[in-house]
Amino acid sequence: MKLLTTLAVVRASFRKAALSVSIVLFLAYPAHAQIETASVTGGQVEGVINDGIASFKGIPFAAPPVGDLRWRAPQPIKPWTGVRKATKYGYAPMQDPRIALLSTGGVGISEDCLYLNVWTPAKDRGEKLPVMVWVYGGGFAMGATSTPIYDGNHLAKKGVVLVSIGYRVGPFGFLAHPELTAEEGGSGCYGIEDQVAGLKWVHDNIAQFGGDPSRVTIFGESAGGISVCMLTVVPSARGLFQRAISESGGSMAPAKHDAEAAMMVPTLKLAEQNGARFLKKLGVADIKAARKLNAYAIQSASGPMGTFWPVADGQTLPADAYALHESGQFNDTPILVGTNSDEGAMFVHGERTPASFEKLVRNEFGPAADAILKAYPHATNAEAFKSSKDLFREGTLAWPTFAWASLESRTGRNKAYVYYYDHHPANSDGANHAAELQLVFGNFLRLFGNPTTEDMKLSDLMDSYWVNFARTGDPNSAGLPEWPAFDTGKMSTMFFDDAPSARPLPNLQKLQAFDVYFAWRRKDARTLK
């Protein structure tokens, strides 16, 4: 009996000791393990853990494109020794420094801009979470991963690994020139090549952060959304993503040979001519001399937004994305695409009269002019001004998106989901360009005022759809309004407004008028080859 009592005491002592060790271990480590370091291409990086999300900022994914590497495809990273602190954003690309001061979070601008950022909720590397890769907008002339609205914490908390990638813009990203074409077989798409290099980095390294390289969604807005559309036909991007989301961006028009309305992508010949003029403006005789110029001298000569754009060089970017989608020769994935109701408000200013609107349409839209004038009310100055804004919306953003979704639903192997964002202040005509970004990222900036209850509800709905799509290729899940796949017979679209629901496209007649215009332009482009 005495022996049994002694054994009981010993067991109790062991239990107390084990409990003490457990408490010590519990206090010594976080409640949840978190990925704080990662071995990536180039070396080891260390991030920061905050509120259950590990963030890694300023990870280089290519060599700095400076000196002799200016206007070349992105080159491999130079390895580093030791552990690199990944706690601060890398530089924003060279762009107008006044705009950068307001929009980039104060990181500064530099040609040395090929960095990316990762936010991950993963507790270990084997979780295989869906990955979302953000491509910023800015008219291919500005933009940065460090823009505060693009912080990835909120989306990461929804269960994805969020990555944002930097790329060159303006003349640094999209200058074409005969000498540059001779060097690499094409020119004018360095910024797109940067995006592909970032996606290759994601493919090779994202498992280190608990991400699944076979479930990558690329998403972007404006020029970022246009980039996403372009990547569906870039041969070197094949297999690097499995879903695509484009907010206010598509690229389905044929390449322009001159200054055709609503066409942005120049042919290589046109871009090379523009590039030769640009070098004369810089006061240099050749590319070798231009590579020696100070980056700020090049930037100051760059001109307004739209001067430099990705080029249909036939190597990185084919000339006719529409034809490739029509024939099934593209990177076919599920797509989620849409536009806002008042996209043109940011770009169209000044007065319009019925006469000036009709003159504009007849001068620029050829045999489609009658269909466009019929679709766009312009009997009064107010109607003419609103129709001018809508003309920009359809021609530049909504028709490319509509064409993309229509082609996917008709000729693709996957489904297209289309939205129409119309959540806006009561005193406006509609939702401005980029108005949805706060809601998608869940980051409401003081600059735009405090979010309303309706803002927060719609934000939760939208980012739930976006994350569901990244997870499965379908935005739907229990508890959300049903979002039907796009069908060219029903034209079903998810409206994001005060009562989100699926309805037919509200601007269908306008889009169909642009069908007529772009069909004419495609035929015209073929005769100009």
**Residues recognised as catalytic:** 222, 343, 433
Q: How far apart are CA 220 and CA 241, in angstroms?
A: 13
Q: Which residues pair with 406 in a beta bridge?
A: none
Which two tokens mark 216?
């990558």
Q: Scanning the structure block, which residue is given the tokens 């690309």?
A: 93
Exposed (0-12), middle (13-18) or buried (19+): which is 212, by Cβ within 10 Å? middle
Q: Is the CB of residue 345 less than 8 Å from the CB of residue 255?
A: no
CA angle in degrees (0–180, nearest 5) for 67-69-74 = 145
* Side chain identity, residue 498: D
| Distance set, CA 122 to CA 3, 151, 178, 206, 208 (Å) | 50, 17, 47, 11, 10
C-alpha–C-alpha distance, residues 337 and 416, integer Å: 8
Strand, helix or coil at 362? helix
Q: Identify which of 513, 91, 448 has the alpha carbon closest to the alpha carbon of residue 295.
A: 91
Q: Max CA-CA distance within the chain?
A: 110
CA–CA separation, 87 vs 49, rounded Å? 10
Asked if residue 151 lies in contact with residue 118, where contact means CB atoms within 8 angstroms, the answer is no
- Find, among 234, 176, 167, 174, the residue nearest to 201 by Cα: 167
- C-alpha dihedral over 109, 112, 114, 118, to 10 degrees? -60
Q: How many residues does the chain have?
A: 529
| Residue 312 DSSP symbol | B
Helices (H), 377-500: 381-392, 399-411, 437-441, 453-472
Q: How far apart are CA 469 and CA 131, in angstroms?
A: 11
Nearest to 317 by CA among 336, 302, 330, 333: 330
| Alpha-helical regions (H) of 286-444 | 287-290, 295-300, 321-326, 354-364, 369-375, 381-392, 399-411, 437-441
